[in-house]
Chain A
Amino acid sequence: MSRIGVFLCYCGSNIAGTVDVEAVAEMARTLPGVVYVETNKYTCSDPGQEGVKNAIIEKGIDRVVVGPCSPRMHEPTWRKLLADTPVNPYMLEVANLREQCSWVHKDKAIATEKAKDLVKMAVAKVARLSPLHSTEIPVHKKALVIGGGIAGMQTALDIADAGFKVTIVERETSLGGKMVMLDKTFPTMDCSACICTPKMSEVGNHPNITVKSYSEVESVSGYIGNFEVTIREKAKYIDYTKCTGCGACETKCPSKVINEFEQGMSKRTAIYKMFPQAVPSKPVIDAEHCRMLQEGKCGVCAKVCPTGAINYQDEDKLTTETYGAIVFATGYKLIDWKPLYPEYGGGKYPDVITGLQFERLVNASGPTEGHILRPSDNKEPKSVVIIKCVGSRDPNKGKAYCSRACCMYSAKHAHQYLDKVPDGRCYVFYMDVRTPGKGYDEFYMNTVHDGAQYLRGRVSKIYKEGDKLICKGEDTLTSQQVTVAADMVVLETAMVPADGIDELAAKFTVGRDADGWLVEAHAKLRPVETNTAGIYLAGTAQGPKDIPDSVCQAGAAASKVIGLLNKDKLESNPQISRVNEALCQGDGACANICPYGAISIVEKQFRENSRKVTRPVAQVNPGLCQGCGACTVTCRAGAMDLMGYTNESIMREVDALCQW
């Protein structure tokens, strides 16, 4: 017979204000198996905990029910307490009398009845629990950062500076991400490249950092402390051990291709470096557009290369390594506004450009060398319309969320335009101006003082008249129709998750929200962790952010990784699934449903009805299992059981609730 101790908490007046704790205690004394009941003003306080410990020893208690706040809050406290007593830390059940009872009810009589039910259930369940024991799992002291933008680089640098090895996987040919495309950064107007490229070279030269550019994650298996990741390094067709990055090949290549880095506003060669300050500072061959690789004729780059670094036979390389922690810094892209906004021309007017195109136009190393010239005829636009929230805050066409950075960079664009074209006029159509940040509102007000005309309303139509783009909208502050004849229109488009994040997140079993952003473990208290242990988030992979926020989050993610890698061993969670092989049919429903790939089907030998039989059964990898319980509800035969939440114990809880 079990000897159950029940410890009920007043939580000051938090619980006692709405629940008659003494009445619940009185009822608990009558429950089968309960040998001791105690109430306490604050059970979690030091004297409270001491009382629980003493009672356990004195009364010979072997299972414990506590009736305080949510187990999310204090379950670790109770487990730690039990670890100091002869009772196994998993012979514990928490009846949540605060969050699930006193806080959500007003009527004391009803809340007390419910509290009694909760305690009854907990007692019924704890009577069926069995002791569980953790094991130790090793930690590989190496981190993988996916994405080499500002968030990824900052995370890698912080981890590497703490003395751990880091690998950055970047699918583009250079580090830098979106930040290196920007011209200047608000609100201080320092040049983006000037603060980003030193970081890139710091990453490139750091003894603890390995940069895998032009590479993608192929597959992943394993678990916290032990992720086995295979990385595909795409064929670069250039031997980086020989290449000096002199650039002779680029000057001679005859193929001309649209330049993605310049947002399609100039051409590049087929053998190319993304931009002059690229890290690694060596080119790759774009196989799709290389005459040699496509048609077998040309080979000019090989002829001019002074070190013989060109290798047309190069192939993708796969490497597999084990990492202790993984950080997603996969970033964002801009929403494809063209199919969504036919009223803005849907892309047929070359002078309707995106904010990122404007960044390149105004950048000294951009296609126009920093002169603001409109794409159609290279004339300086004398009147520019900036439209905010294109795709953001527009649930009907784009996304319901606010992209957070656009208010500030549209103010920056207006400021930069008015600075470079002093006789120009700039109109900003906005829904709201959101400037919560240090020095942000001051920056916005400066732009207004510069002469930017802010008009509150959306533009409903853009059409061409002569060489002017006529923008029709409404100024909702004066309720008047507004028509602006613009030379150029800049659309500040929404941030959306980077391409391929769906597949990548599925590979790593990282959750995504309805808009595709990666989901943090807790919106407030665990903002850089994911629900998969050992996987963290940095930057815009988690949601729209500006640079300061991305860098902050990168540092936070790095500190979590450092905390993990500092440990030599982790304690495993013993609340994982177990297979009852006698019941298991081996049909693999559990293996299919398992989000962590923790279950495999193996052939095993059994002696059944005096015969040897070999049949398939499920096997759980205790390192991978996160104890989510999906398999237990999928198995029709009930062959899967979650330790600490066994089918039997849950059924007894239900029985306790349904008693009359």
Chain B
Amino acid sequence: MSAQEIIRARAKELLESGEIATFIGWEAGRFTNQTTPLVITDAADAGKLVFNEYCANTLAKYVTDVLARGKVGLVVRGCDSRAIVRLINDKVIKREDVYLVGVGCPGMKDRKTDEPLKKCTECRHNNPLVFDEMAGENAEKAVPEDRFAEVKEVEAMTAAERTRYFESIYAKCIRCYACRDVCPCCTCRECFVDQRRENWVGKQNNVAENRFYGLTRVMHIGDRCIECGECERVCPMDLPLMKLNRKVIQDMNDLFGEFESGLVISAEPSVLTTYELTDREEFM
């Protein structure tokens, strides 16, 4: 049986048995090279589920929307599973809130170009890290050697060049907050940009406010980013958002040792909120 067939069969069984209340996967889009996320509550809809090389969206964050109905089943690849781990570690959901059907991911394609998606070429964990069962086997995929190549390009610029570069980025940003909405690490009950009483960041769309938003976003997810690349994929203005995320991750590696977020479910506090006697503190 193909992974798609297993997913359909298991979704049907799980919904019928009442073990889960909803199931999240993908359905075919209008064109063959397109899918959209699908939430089903009726076992009869399980036949709509697909799994093919155009399943671009990660699914984990939809769990928070449908959790009120009861336990959620969903398909997880590497990125989805890390997002689920993130949500659990951030106490947004509990492990028992979700039933995870794992599927090996060979990497997805960009429907516009039919080339592999950028986020998938950069992926280091394509197979699920947490799951309740696997639909089929793990998939093989090349692991990129240097995840910080993009960062080095920016670091090589002079200060003036960098300023111009970032200004050009934030001049384009339309503050649609798609990057925030899609991010499995952005799970605050109310985002700082919406806190009008404090008014942390102005509503005006200009380079200064946009940059403040962008930098605060990247700092807020600094110790959480699972490098799924969804922010960059969904950005309607094609801003290179992962560059900034990876810069922070590179700094985290440098300061606190090799660091990758969302690999294991753990109650261990983040390195940014703990203190070790051996921590570097040359700023003191």
**A606 → chain B closest CB, angstroms:** 11
Beyond the given pairs A587-B89, A587-B91, 7 more chain A to chain B contacts, judged by CB atoms under 8 angstroms and listed by A's residue number, are A585-B90, A585-B189, A590-B273, A593-B274, A616-B91, A638-B190, A647-B200
Interface presence of A636 (CB below 8 A): yes
Residues of the A chain whose Cβ atoms lie less than 8 Å from the Cβ of B1: none
Of A585, A634, A636, A655, the residue contacting B92 (CB under 8 A) is A585
**Contacts A586-B91, A587-B91 known; A638 to B198 CB distance under 8 Å?**
yes
Give the residue of A583, A609, A648 whose beta carbon is less than 8 angstroms from that of B189. A583
A588-B91 CB under 8 A given contacts A609-B68, A634-B273, A638-B200: yes
With A587-B90, A636-B192, A637-B188 as contacts: A651 and B199 at CB distance below 8 Å: yes
Name A592's contact: one of B91, B188, B274 (CB within 8 Å). B274
Who on chain B is nearest to A631 by CB?
B273
A582 within 8 Å of B (CB atoms): yes
Q: How far is the CB of B194 from chain A (nearest CB, A)?
A: 10
Is B204 in the interface zone, CB < 8 Å from A?
A: no
Instruction: Give A592 to B89 CA distance when docked, in angstroms.
Output: 14
Q: How far is the CA of A588 from the CA of B273 in the complex (A)?
A: 9
The 29 listed contacts between A and B (C-beta, < 8 Å) are A502-B277, A514-B284, A582-B189, A582-B190, A583-B188, A583-B189, A584-B189, A585-B92, A585-B188, A586-B91, A588-B91, A588-B273, A589-B270, A589-B272, A589-B273, A592-B269, A592-B274, A593-B274, A609-B68, A636-B188, A637-B189, A638-B190, A638-B195, A638-B198, A647-B198, A648-B197, A648-B198, A651-B199, A651-B200
Which one of B68, B91, B190 lies within 8 Å of A583 (CB-CB)?
A: B190
Q: Report the separation of the CA atoms of residues A88 and B284 in the bound assembly, to the nearest whole angstrom.
A: 37
- Interface size band for B: 20 to 34
Main secondary structure of the interface of B (DSSP, over half): loop
| C-alpha gap A44/B73 in the complex (Å) | 68
List residues of chain A with CB within 8 A of the CB of B277: 502, 506
Q: Lowest 4 CB-CB distances: which A-B pairs, in order?
A: A637-B188, A592-B273, A592-B269, A589-B273
Give the distance to chain A from B55, nearest Cβ to Cβ, in Å: 29
Q: Does A348 contact B (CB under 8 A)?
A: no
* Closest chain B residue to A506, Cβ basis: B277
- Chain A's nearest CB lies how many Å from the CB of B226? 15
B220 located at the interface, meaning its Cβ lies under 8 Å from any Cβ of chain A in the complex: yes
Task: Tell me whether B187 is interfacial, beta carbon within 8 Å.
Answer: yes
A611 at the interface (CB under 8 A from B): yes
For A651, the chain B residues whose CB sits under 8 A away are 198-200
**How far apart are B188's CB and chain A's nearest CB, in angstroms?**
4
Residues of B within 8 A of A589 (CB): 269-270, 272-273
**Assembled-state Cα–Cα distance A520/B29 (Å):** 68
CB 8 Å contact bits of B191-217 with A (1 = contact, 0 = none): 010010111100000000000000000
**Closest CB in chain B relative to A409 CB, distance in Å:** 32
Chain A 574-616: CB-based contact to B (< 8 A → 1; otherwise 0) = 0000000011111111101100000000000000010100011
Chain A residues near B284: list those with CB within 8 A.
514
Evaluate contact between B200 and A637: CB separation under 8 angstroms.
Answer: no
User: What's the least CB distance linking A618 to chain B, in Å?
Assistant: 11
| Measured CA separation A616–B195 after assembly (Å) | 21
Q: Which residues of B contact A506 (CB under 8 A)?
A: 277
B106 CB, nearest partner CB in chain A, Å: 34
Nearest CB to that of B195 among chain A residues?
A: A638
Whose C-beta in chain B lies nearest to the C-beta of A615?
B91
CA of A636 to CA of B92 in the docked complex: distance in angstroms? 14
- Within B151-198, the residues touching A (CB, 8 Å) are 187-190, 192, 195, 197-198
Instruction: Give Cα A583–Cα B190 distance, bound, in whole angstroms.
Output: 6
- A616–B92 alpha-carbon span in the complex (Å): 9
Q: Could you give, for residues 621-645 of chain A, a 1 whenever the CB lies within 8 Å of some chain B CB and a 0 otherwise?
A: 0000000000000101111000000
Please give me the residue from chain A that is nearest to B186 by CB atom.
A636
CA distance A287 to B188 in the complex (A): 54
Interchain CA distance A590-B269 in the complex, whole Å: 10
**A585 and B91: CB pair below 8 A?**
yes
| Separation of A636 and B198 alpha carbons in the complex (Å) | 13
Report the minimal beta-carbon distance from B99 to chain A, rounded to whole angstroms. 21
Contacts of A590 in B (CB 8 A): 273
